[in-house]
Structure 1
Amino acid sequence: MTNTNENKPFYHSLSGVTQQDDKLLEPIRYILQSPGKVMDEKLFQAFNYWIKILPDKMELIREIVILFYNACVIVDDIQDNSILRRSIPVAHSIYGIANSLSSANYAFFIAMERVIDLHPAAMKMYVEQALEFHKGQGMDIFWRDNFICPNESDYEIMATRKVRGILNLIVKLMKLFSTCEQDLSSLITTLSLFFQIRDDYGNLCSNNYTENKSYCEDLTEGKFSFPIIHALTTNPNDSQIRNILKQRTASIEVKRYCVELLEKFGSFKYTRNVLEKLEMKARDEIERLGGNPYLIKILDELKNLDYWN
């Protein structure tokens, strides 16, 4: 995919030198070789079913969001000390932490450069949604690093901020070039929570998920994911999961035992029930908005846990 106006890769700076950007953006180019399905063409097509903007504008917005999202991915993998992303080694394991951070930061500003050219009101929207995403990401890290188990309500605020920041960025930028007046905010909030909880669930109990990430990576990270929060909240006198999480173990055997505990405590069943309710709510919201075959298809595909990565 290229920007035809500048005849250079879309992830390059409009004001940059091609040969230099080739070097500076190697980690970005690397992670883009296996794009996450969250940024699949289908997602933009689904929102455009209602918003109806021209293909050239949608492509410009898609490039901005892809840049922002993949810069976040590189930083997220460093913060989580991840091993795999989309079935390949994480960028910093190939290019180093310093080079990968520099590339991600550069990409954030390249996205801003394109936002400025997009529309006078676009920059405010970009900053607002970037702040939302980083607030959610920041709280997730704060709880993990200070070993504080949030309650379910606080988790929901964090989770919706992380994913809603990306989805809102797409929708709000698209609406700048549309007469669409439909309020998609409730649907986006529901989808955001659904996507994040499903990701948490898949990380711990989906065989397909391990093709994209290492086995139960959230346990090695020490993350207070949705099933973990349920287990700790409903079994306050059991210290096993808490101790496993605190160790940030890489042991497959210990992580398998933790998964057995989560099953025993009913945390996976509870998570599945929450996901079913959120999916039904999302489908009801879609119907209320007049229907959307593209979003319905995405929800159907999400029944395969490896879809959202």
Structure 2
Amino acid sequence: MRKTSPFLIASLVLAVCLMLSAVIGSVSIDLTSFFTIIGSVLSGQTVPLTLQPLVTILFSLRFPRTVLIALTGAALAGSGAAYQGLFRNPLADPYLIGVASGAGLGAVMAMTISWPQQISSMLFIPLASFAGALITVWTAYFLAKSGNSLPSTNLILAGVAVSSFATALTSYLMLYSNRELHRALAWLMGGASMSGWDPVTAMLPYTVIGLGILLTCGYALNVLQFGEEQAQQLGMDVKRIRLLVIFAATLTAAAAVSFSGIIGFVGLIVPHLIRMLWGSDYRKLIPLSILGGAAFLLAADIIARRIAAPQEVPVGIITALTGAPFFLFVLRRSRRQNVW
């Protein structure tokens, strides 16, 4: 009997998580009603009158949130897998070179300005967050560059320094902006704070472009695992590949953070689990991480909605509670094996 395709398994898990995310919430929707509504809409028939209120809930609230969370998980896990391959380190994640701290600084700066609520929520805060993430990563890149070379160690150290500086500025702004303190804390803990299809529409192009580029870099990341010198001897333009991966992974992660806040550990946990289950071939690892990241964050979001119902826990807390022990497990395992 042939082994079941990992892509089929990941796709089925994602499909289940998508369905559960749509039906679970403050107003629960039973599966019979769910499939009746979906079948009626797809076939062009009129939805039964008794189910009309659920149509609004599904298509105006649940589906946009579900898609946004899935895109965020896919973006974080896909970029995390790419960073782990680029730096040849299983502990690397999308926030390694300052994406999260820069996005947080941009968002908090936007919150301190008295913009109209609609403008600040749907336009200015995500744009400021996105700009902050890109500026932070560019600064780390500029500081790490040595002549025409870009040593990975320099980039990581520069990212740590820039992240610390951005985090300090964020803390200062929050300390003297009591009016927006609660809002800033909620955003920094992560979650789908914006409703409707507008955030999905705004985030989708960046995510598709970034992940699309990363999917084409699987073979190059495989070669880089033998070392940069070996990759150059095989004819690979290591500098170009490194810049391409950094650009695509940063673009993707920045888009995710801009619209969903800072959600940690997704880019660390998912690629490592995929690697343990199905190997380190980045031609498979990156697409499987994209599927697995979407499923993982959807599952975490479902738990966040139900664990303290009717109140909602920020999904970043759930991923942190899961990710911190897993991080220690990965650290101990990598030290024991002393291999990458």
The alignment's TM-score, normalised by the length of structure 2, stands at 0.25
The alignment's TM-score, normalised by the length of structure 1, stands at 0.27
**Greater relative contact order (Cα < 8 A, sep 6+):** 2
Larger proportion of helix: 2
